[in-house]
Structure 1
Amino acid sequence: MFCYQCEQTAKGGCTKVGVCGKKDETAALQDLLLYLSKGLSQVAVAAREQGVEDPAANLFTVKAIFSTLTNVNFDDDRFVALINDCVAKRDALKAKVSGVEFTGPAALVPAADKAGMIAQGKEYGIEKDPELNEDLKSLKQTLTYGLKGVAAYADHAAILGKEDNDLYAKIQELMAATLSTDLTLEQCVEAALECGRQNIRAMELLDDANTSAYGHPEPTEVKLGATKGKAILVSGHDLKDLETLLKQTEGKGINIYTHGEMLPCHAYPELKKYPHLAGHYGTAWQNQQKEFAEFPGAILMTTNCIQKPTTYMDAIFTTGLVGWPGAVHVSNDDFTPVIEKALAMGGFPADTDKSTVMVGFARNAVMSVAGTVIDAVKSGDIRHFFLVGGCDGAKPGRNYYTEFVEKTPADTVVLTLACGKFRFFDKKLGDIGGIPRLLDIGQCNDAYSAVQIALALADAFDCGVNELPLSLVLSWYEQKAVAILLSLLALGIKNIKLGPSLPAFITPNVLNFLVDNYNIAPISTPDEDLKEILG
């Protein structure tokens, strides 16, 4: 295997086993599925040119791509089923296309069994890419990883009934473009920026899905301690799974807790109305092996971010696209096995008090006090805004973000989102004229809210976003973060500081392009970066 799609990749690329826990065989099946998804995309593009649209193939494309994102699915048997489904949908669509001779992944016949598929997949990994130009390869991989993030958000939105055929078409066009052998560097750059633009659309779609179903987030105080009684922990990102579980556990004496990126769910009116949504437990995804082992109830993993279960294998359940061999997978929105397990376990023996945190500062909440914010900036009470967010991870160096936030001056405001906030989410930074200095905007996809806040402030001050007293200090781990970074670049946002390390798939020439055109820079130390930003 060879994989360098995440920030924690070992020595420039994992070659024996992934830092994420992905085995060589699983990596090969993922590579084969991704390759075949590009073939399905090629067929869909050709079909669309002849007026043929296949909604099932469109939705499957994003699910297949999302399945290969870091920490989603580790179950080889599930990948075998996805590969067969991909080819079935490809061939059914291909039968509706006339006059086109398909080759490569659009014609590849997968092996009849898992062992054969694993052998095939080893022929389509990154190291077997025929692209000889390292910079082109770098940009194509950047595009591929960005599309994994876009696919994730598109799938999240589709779960709540929000789909956009134009978005699916663009995802398939860009997936097919990664196979092109005659793209120039300029065309590859434009394709990556187009991926960023499509990610904005995907996040907009998901924002509409979430707020239409559950209302706009409201500033909400969330309990971090436990409540005595039976318990279920929900991790990942899926709001619909949480709602379904809340409905199915009403009156059963089970308290529901959020974990990781589910924390912002407490701010949605239609979710927080359930009294047994008891609070938030734990921190970010990379701490789950310790935190889950100590949780005295059942655990439900949605969307992504699963790690290898340890002593709690019999208590963890997966749903949606998430998979781990040996873990019970629940489907069809029936969480009966999760509920039964929770009832059979001891639960929390007593109440505990571990303070609270505030969430719910998405764009509606922030813009409702925009006048106060603008006046505070004009008066000098607020000197600067920092957006400090992104993915958390286990690699050393991420304490930078804790220290950075702790050292921000008292006349500055910190906006945050995604699981990177767990480095500092419980810090008491005080307020400026009633405006909290630490504002939790939400999940990683709520970068859309952050962008809307920035655009609204720029409009209010009659300036460009890059002229605002706003600095972005971001952390990345997986491919959703790549998609968001491409979105920021597509919007022309400059002076981003990125860490804790730069992507291994970025070549020196591509990095120089980003520095020259966007002034992207790696983080250094909190003191040096604050001095540079604030002058």
Structure 2
Amino acid sequence: MFCNQCEQTAHGIGCTTSLGVCGKDADVQAVQELILYGLKGMAAYANHARRLGKSDESVSAFIEEALFSTMTNVNFDLEGLFGIAMELGRKNLRVMELLDAGHVETFGRPSPAIVQAGTRPAPGILVTGHDLVDLWNLLQQVEGTEVKVYTHGEMLPAHMYPRLREHPNLAGHYGGPWQKQKQEFPRFGGPVVATTNCILIPKDDYADRIFTTRFTAVPGGTRLVGDDYGPVIAKARECGPLQEVRQGTFQVGYHRTVLLDAAPTIVEAVKAGQISRFFVIGGCDGAEPGRNYFSDYAANTPPDSFILTLGCGKYRILDRDHGTHLGLPRLMDMGQCNDAYGAIQVALALADAFGCGVNDLPLTLVVSWFEQKAVAVLLTLLSLDVKGITIGPNAPAFITPKVFRSLQERFDLRLTGPDALVDLKLAIS
């Protein structure tokens, strides 16, 4: 491959010329990477929506064209690439809207619920990942049997949908975020079904209990190509009854529909000075040091404020009682990472009620950053011109200093600092 910009021959993987990007322009490559990661995240959401019967031809066409823009010698214009990234954000909003509609129409209008955490003394199956259709298919196949099903990680919000919550074989939730799998899965004792990308390569002592769906796969696990969960059910019976474990409870279900129903009351409370601020604290979590920033931040928010959380980042702040305010829990779980659509809709509704822009609301966004879907969601927020978002604990590794400075200048994008309390004081000052 030859780059016609710097007149160099590609030297293989790792050479920017081999990516179709001029080796002299790392900034162009950075924005192309931003687009590629965003496309991967958006494609994941679009796949979930399609399985629920929801799709949009304009989204599919955009994915094709945006991918083409990152090919060899196609687009070296930095501003043009920024424009594609912003359009990606707008298209991802549409995808999340489709997925939200698919979930509500298929599984019922969400409502707050208390979820028992732990296991019962019966054969059990743990379901992790994001795909609620997989969970529903499994529940249908164990219905009428002694086998119980438990959610894990990003499947916790399944309990806010009545059709899933009321299924007699859905027994509760087990464990925490994806990064604790290697400690939690051996202790679970039954088979685990991984429905999406949030699966770690298993250790040998439990790999034979890992089942994955469709294109998700790990060494040592069993990949299910179709929707037949017979092998998983057989493994659950082979493993025998789980130990009875009590891990407390979780409160879920503050979906956008719930909060929008309460919008008039919330607006009046803000006007009366009873609510000082809303914080959105969540996102895609990781395991590296520094992520205690988010738990420290949430723990010190004012007692007359509310915290909205979503994504696996919620597990950083769910283990603390944040109390109540105005008869409501101060910490409200809105759902999975894709339910950022709901947070956006709530913000837009409040802005409309107050006759102001989203950036004028008493709203602070503090988002943990990790993977492709986080890129897609961030681009959606930026495409809506939401300013002052704090991300962290580090800037994306593929973003060059010049590109990050541009994002800071355009959107007041901020990085988490070394001290959460200092950043919190700046946010509420």
Could you report, residue by residue, the CA deviation over 1:173-223 in whole angstroms, capped at 9, with x for unpaired residues?
100011244431110110110111111111111111111111121101101
CA shift for structure 1 position 275: 2.0
Structure 2 unaligned blocks of 5 or more? 3-10
The Cα shift of 1:341 comes to: 0.2
Q: Is the 8 A contact 1:356 1:426 kept in 2?
A: no
Aligned match of 2:415 in 522, 528, 531? 522
1:402-448 deviations in whole A, cap 9, x for unaligned? 11111111011000000000011132212111121001000000000
Give the partner amino acid of 1:344: E
Equivalent position of 2:7 in the other structure? none
Please give the alpha-carbon distance, in whole angstroms, between the structure 2 residues aligned to 1:462 and 1:336. Answer: 55
Alignment of 1:139-150 (within 5 A): 139-150=31-42
Of 21, 24, 28, which residue of structure 2 is paired with 1:131? 21
Match of 1:192 in 2: 85
Query: Of 192, 195, 200, which residue of structure 2 is paired with 1:307?
Result: 200
Q: Does 1:531 align with 2:425?
A: yes
Provide the secondary structure at the position in 2 that maps to 1:293: helix
Larger strand fraction of residues:
2
Question: What code does the residue aligned with 2:19 have?
Answer: D
> Which letter does structure 1 place at the counterpart of 2:56?
D
1:168 alignment partner, one of 38, 42, 60: 60
- Given candidates 231, 235, 242, the residue that maps to 1:337 is 231
Q: Secondary structure at the match of 1:225?
A: strand
Q: CA deviation at 1:131?
A: 1.6
Q: Structure 1 segments of 4 or more deviating over 3 A? A: 122-127, 180-183
Question: Once the two structures are superposed, what CA deviation does each residue of 1:235-284 show, in whole Å capped at 9, x if it has no partner?
Answer: 00010110011110112111110000000001101111112211111111
Superposed counterparts of 1:366-381, under 5 Å: 366-381=259-274
Q: Does the 8 Å CA contact 1:472/1:495 hold for their aligned counterparts?
A: yes
Alignment match of 1:502 (pick from 358, 371, 395): 395
Cα deviation 1:27-47 (Å, max 9, x = unaligned): xxxxxxxxxxxxxxxxxxxxx
In terms of mean alpha carbon deviation, does 450-459 or 173-182 score higher?
173-182
TM-score (norm 1): 0.76
For the Cα contact (< 8 Å) 2:69–2:75, is it kept in 1? no
Deviates most, 365-374 or 257-266: 365-374
Matched, 1:319 2:213: yes
Q: 1:125 to 1:199 in 2, by over 3 A?
A: farther
Supply the distance in 1 between the matched residues of 2:241 and 2:90 (Cα, whole angstroms): 45
- Give the aligned residue type for 2:207: M
Aligned residue for 2:118, secondary structure, equals coil
Match of 1:490 in 2: 383
Q: Mapping of 1:253-292 within 5 angstroms?
A: 253-292=146-185
Deviations 1:153-184 (A, max 9, x none): 01111111212111100110100011244431
C-alpha separation in 1, matches of 2:263 and 2:53: 32
Mapped to 2, the partners of 1:290 and 1:208 lie a distance apart of 35
Determine the structure 2 residue equivalent to 1:397.
290
Does the 8 Å CA contact 2:68/2:74 hold for their aligned counterparts?
no
Contact 2:27 2:400 in 1 (8 A): yes
Equivalent residue in structure 2 for 1:462, among 341, 347, 355: 355
CA distance, structure 1, for counterparts of residue 266 and residue 33 of structure 2 = 40
Matched, 1:347 2:237: no
Matched residues in 2 for 1:383 and 1:250: separation? Answer: 47
**CA distance in structure 2 between the aligned counterparts of 1:490 and 1:362, rounded to whole angstroms:** 23
CA distance in 2, matches of 1:313, 1:182: 44
3-state secondary structure, aligned to 2:356: coil
Q: Percent identity of the aligned residues?
A: 47
Pairing 1:93-104 to 2, within 5 Å after superposition: none
Distance 1:533 1:337 in 2: 52
Alignment counterpart, residue 159 of structure 1, candidates 51, 60, 64:
51
Question: Following the alignment from structure 1 to structure 2, what is the Cα–Cα distance between the partners of residues 237 and 420?
Answer: 14
Across the aligned residues of Structure 1 and Structure 2, the Cα RMSD in angstroms comes to 1.6
Measured in 2, the distance between the counterparts of 1:349 and 1:144 equals: 44
Aligned partners of 2:142, 2:292: CA distance in 1, in Å? 38
- Residue 469 of structure 1, CA deviation: 0.2
Displacement of 1:125: 5.5
Q: How does 1:231-270 map to 2 (within 5 A)?
A: 231-270=124-163
| SS of aligned partner of 2:188 | coil
1:508 to 1:349, Cα distance in 2 relative to 1, 3 A: closer
The Cα of 1:226 is off from its aligned counterpart by 1.9
Structure 2 residue identity aligned to 1:327: G
Query: Is contact 2:119–2:242 with CA below 8 Å preserved after alignment?
Result: yes
2:8 — aligned with what?
A: none
Aligned residue runs from structure 1 range 16-31, under 5 A:
none
Q: Distance in 1 between matches of 2:86 and 2:12?
A: 29
Calculate the TM-score normalised by the size of structure 2.
0.94
Q: Is contact 1:388-1:414 (8 Å) kept? A: yes
1:328 aligns with 2:222: yes
Tell me how far apart the structure 1 counterparts of residues 315 and 46 of structure 2 sit (CA, whole Å).
Answer: 25
- SS for the counterpart of 1:411 is coil
Structure 2 distance, partners of 1:126, 1:495, is: 35
Instruction: Give the residue type in structure 2 aligned to 1:383.
Output: S
Query: Relative to structure 1, is the Cα distance of residues 126 and 306 closer, same or farther in structure 2, using a 3 angstrom cutoff?
Result: farther
Check conservation: 2:143, 2:168, Cα contact below 8 A. Answer: no
**Contact 1:381/1:432 (8 A) holds in 2:** no
Q: Size of the alignment, in residue pairs?
A: 416
Q: Is the 8 A contact 2:213 2:226 kept in 1?
A: no
The 1:322–1:290 alpha-carbon spacing in structure 2 relative to 1, beyond 3 Å, is same
Displacement of 1:126: 6.3
Contact kept in structure 2, 1:357 and 1:426, CA below 8 Å: no
